[in-house]
Amino acid sequence: MGRRRQPYHNIYTLEGLSLHKLALQLQDHLNPNGFDNASVSSVSDYHNLTSSGCGREPSTTSGPIVPLKRTLQERVVETESCYFCGYGHTTIGNINPDTIIFCNQCERPCHIKCYNNRVVKKKVPLEILKEYMCFHFLCCQECQSLRARLEEGLEKCVGITFLRRIRSNICWRLLSGMDASRDVKLYMPQVIDIFKDAFMDSTDEHSDIISDMVNGDQEKDFRGMYCALLTASTHVVSAAILKVRIEQIAELVLIATRSECRKKGYFILLLKSIEANLRAWNVSLLTAPVDPEMAQIWSEKLGFTILSAEEKESMLESHPLVMFKNLVLVQKSLA
């Protein structure tokens, strides 16, 4: 698949269904007159899942949503040796060629001198530090090209389908909380509410973590988080936090649907849109932390593989994934 963004008609899911067709099924499903069980079976199959994203919902639709707790699991601490030379020698307290700095895309540590050894246009240490502070220090060509692909997708509104019932376009949007754009100001507060509603007790003292992730908080090291959204006019219907550090792996940190929009197929449409965009960016693997009781559905209905405890452990050792306590890690190959 090419790297350019393609019309949804031409983006196919692994099951051979175009996103456009999937969206049309959603439309049929949402339109009571056009409702036809046979034509929406592939969407309605996911009712149990879409009811809650990663979460769950009581069997009575009128009942309250049971919030699921998300407590961040501490990262496996990597030894901070330079990705290029393999040595950890560095200077502390002043900035010079021996200083180790982290790439703002792949997050790998690298000596300033090792970076300069590999590029034609050398930079003085202070310039590199400045780039790092602005989140623009990219250690190599692959990181530059991945960042360019991600930024190309930012802030664009891609219409997926027009829903007659609500007389509105359903659009795909990718936003970065680090931007101060109008879209970010309009949609991010809604995204935070959707996630808090799905994953947090209102009394939870750690509930700030959601807004920190959505906003790409610098101090908590949540820079590089993107929000993937389905919107209808000015409303967010479904949202996900997505992190793409390297081509080899992308993380679906959180995904949820606005409570009054659940059971309508938005979850599966957002997930398929995310997968299609990741494929277009040449990303080969998608991982997601999910609740143990939901893992089977992710495996049986959505084509994900459940990692064993040992596999999860070794995955977290080789990749600094955002992981929550007591959750299961699932993955899906996009290649």
Nearest to 230 by CA among 167, 272, 282: 272
Residue 103 CB, nearest distance to Zn ion (Å)?
A: 3
Helix or strand or coil: residue 70?
Answer: coil
The correct pick among 26, 106, 160, 184 for binding Zn ion (CB under 5 A) is 106
Residue 80 CB, nearest distance to Zn ion (Å)?
A: 11
Q: Which helix (DSSP H) or strand (DSSP E) does residue 50 occupy?
A: helix 47-50
Of 2-10, 109-117, 125-133, 275-283, which segment contacts Zn ion by CB under 5 A? 109-117
The reply to whether 112 sits near Zn ion by the rule CB under 5 A is no
The correct pick among 23, 26, 40, 82 for binding Zn ion (CB under 5 A) is 82
Amino acid at 243: K
Q: Which helix (DSSP H) or strand (DSSP E) does residue 174 occupy?
A: strand 168-176
The span from the CA of 85 to the CA of 244, in Å, is 24
Q: Which residues pair with 30 in a beta bridge?
A: none
The reply to whether 114 sits near Zn ion by the rule CB under 5 A is yes
Of 13-21, 31-39, 74-82, 300-308, which segment contacts Zn ion by CB under 5 A? 74-82
Residue 279 CB, nearest distance to Zn ion (Å)?
A: 21
The reply to whether 241 sits near Zn ion by the rule CB under 5 A is no
Residue 274 CB, nearest distance to Zn ion (Å)?
A: 22
Question: In terms of CB distance, is 114 or 270 closer to Zn ion?
Answer: 114
Question: In terms of CB distance, is 117 or 314 closer to Zn ion?
Answer: 117
Residues 6+ apart with CB under 8 A from 75: 316, 320, 323
The span from the CA of 101 to the CA of 124, in Å, is 13
Residue 226 CB, nearest distance to Zn ion (Å)?
A: 17
# residues near Zn ion by CB under 5 A? 11
The correct pick among 29, 30, 43, 111 for binding Zn ion (CB under 5 A) is 111
- In degrees, rounded to 5, the angle at the alpha carbon of residue 245 between the alpha carbons of residues 303 and 312 is 50
The span from the CA of 330 to the CA of 104, in Å, is 26
Which residues would be at the binding site for Zn ion (CB under 5 A)?
Answer: 82, 84-85, 103, 105-106, 111, 114, 139-140, 143
